[in-house]
Structure 1
Amino acid sequence: MSLTVVSTGTSSTADRQGASVPRATRPGQGPSAPSRTLPPVLPTDVATAADPVAAVLQACERGGLLALRTSGTTDRPRVVVRTAASWADSFPHVSALAGIDRSSRVWVPGPLGATMNLFAAVHARSVGAPLVEQPGDATHAHLTPAALTAALRDGTDLRDRTLVVAGDRLTRDLAARARAAGATTAHYYGAAELSFVAWGTDEQDLRPFPDVTVDIRDGRIWARSPFLSQGYTEGEGPFTTAPDGSATVGDRGRLADGVLTVTGRGSDAVVTGGATVLVGEVEAALRRATGSDVLVVGLPHPRLGAVVAAVLTDPATLPRAREAARTALDPAQRPRRWFALPQLPLTAAGKVDRAAVAELAADGRLAPAGAA
């Protein structure tokens, strides 16, 4: 594997631990950043390991580096380089927050190619908690919101289980449904490049993860912690660092009274008629009104550039959604098109595939939820 990163000249926790791998910065942002090749000790390419979990744990033992593939919902996968310690140092916090120890039994149904699932499996094995194949054998489960929705729909027995939900926002309604089924919910926000940023019980209860400082700059979420990655093996990406050691992937949010609200992922915006609409804000308003999942995408428009479109998983909620759009959203935020799609497509990592939904809508392959 040929590995090149971009140096900012800033130090990091990993640098102090002896892994001199500089962080990446995007061109035109931050100080001048010449590229250089990584030291001879190359990261462990987890994707090629016969046992990815064992490969990570071995890297943790020897203080090595990891090369991990991202699993985003819209962009092509990238390879992120981080110290193994940047994961291992968070294990005690995850154990305490999720209540996982050697007496636990952990179900991780998603593919280990997704970093959130790989981390969950590595953490479980590190504390001596066995991984199980069936939810009925588990005390804890790591799920995406889509996987949790499917488990509830299929009648999976979730009683007395702790569900750690990540990969997308865990709405308060979905968390309430899980609790009504007898489960306890935990939810965290992070990214492959940042690792953990905030933890709570649902998307409205996220507070900075232990040892993480969260800051909002120009509407974007920045984090400073010992858990940050070092950048990408090659090419550009959303990961950007600042001279103070903070980093961002461009996600938008607000921080009030210690609670972090994630209002949109880095690229989740629709520019319509010169106005930038954050899809996360529109989705939140429509979800509150409908009590069901809603996805907002942009559709090409010859005059406005794009228009806002809403995809409802429950078309019967259209009247409530329209009323909420009229009363709770600014004119530019209001969807011009309404579609129905009972089951949203997923990526291989189990996340909602926004790009696929946008393509279906743009190609006219989605059924209208009603007249525009």
Structure 2
Amino acid sequence: MERRDFLLGLVPASMKSWLGMEQAEGKGDDPRRAALEWLRQARFGLFMHYGVYSLLGRGEWVQLRELIPVREYEKLKDKFTADKFDADKITDLALAAGMKYITITTRHHDSFCLFKTAETDFNSLNSPARRDLIAELTQACRKKGLGIFYYYSYALDWRHPYFYSREYGLASSNAPWGSARPAYKEPEPSYKFRRPEDFQHYIRFVHRQIRELLTQYGPINGMWLDPIMGYYCRPELFPIEQTYALIRKLQPQCLICFKQGANGDEDYIAPERTLGPHKMGGEVARRVWEKNKNKLPEICDTLQERAWGYQKDARHRDADWVMKTLQYCRSINGNLLLNTGPLPDGSIHPEDEATLRELGRRLKV
């Protein structure tokens, strides 16, 4: 029996419609094609950026921007409780807003993981929370017929010893980039990247974590990879074909997006705010955009005006703004992935909750 057939046999009928498998079985199609058609019809999803950066309330890039040393930053894990992260409430809110799926950060650029992993102790199960938040949200989505996508920071890690250095990123001939590491005044002792061959240690870490995500929780709708500039800066370091093949071998129905695209083999594109090639991505970005520009676009934007992770002083957008953004996405035959940054305790910001509920009321009219 082929893996595709084996996987389909394991999926309850209630789950198959949102995975696109039901259509695939009926037509004998590639399950990815049916999954993509489901996503095209879904139109509207909830994005969530949550992690230890939420505790500081200064956005998800706080470690880089404030030059917080690795050992100091990792202490945030010991304060991470997620006391009010409630998967049932989150999924109920998404449904009330008229959303059809949720995308959540399994691991952001700081490398803190919200899932069970053997690759690092920097994770939610090894914090006071003692919980696998990805398992909880996946189960709640499955129970209520919502799709689930896993955001994963594939091309940036400020903690792993062997991610490429800031200096190596700035020396790129295609797209020089200074965000590979914080610009610490003193060398960070845990960073060990010295030559391109060292990067294989990071890739092995990433592939093992992708395997964990795709074997621990049952079938999912897709992998949402980020940030594309980490790839455009040093594309020669990333075995992108091997990564995509691993995902599709483990879950044949699983869609893949990597922002505007890395090699043109992505199932759909997910640019921030507007369509178009990445302005800082150089020739690699322009070349791949020509391959991907006619694929399903999923525009991602956030209810905070700036940061994606919780920011204490942020202004929050209202339902009028969301309606205009939805109209734009529909005008380009695309989806909207609307982000909220949960509070430090994991609850949804009251202003965002009010906006989402008002949005749901308007969409029902």
Superposition TM-score tier, normalisation by shorter sequence:
under 0.3
Higher strand share: 1
TM-score by length of 2: 0.28
TM-score by length of 1: 0.28
Higher RCO by CA contacts (8 Å cutoff, separation 6 or greater): 2
Higher helix share: 2
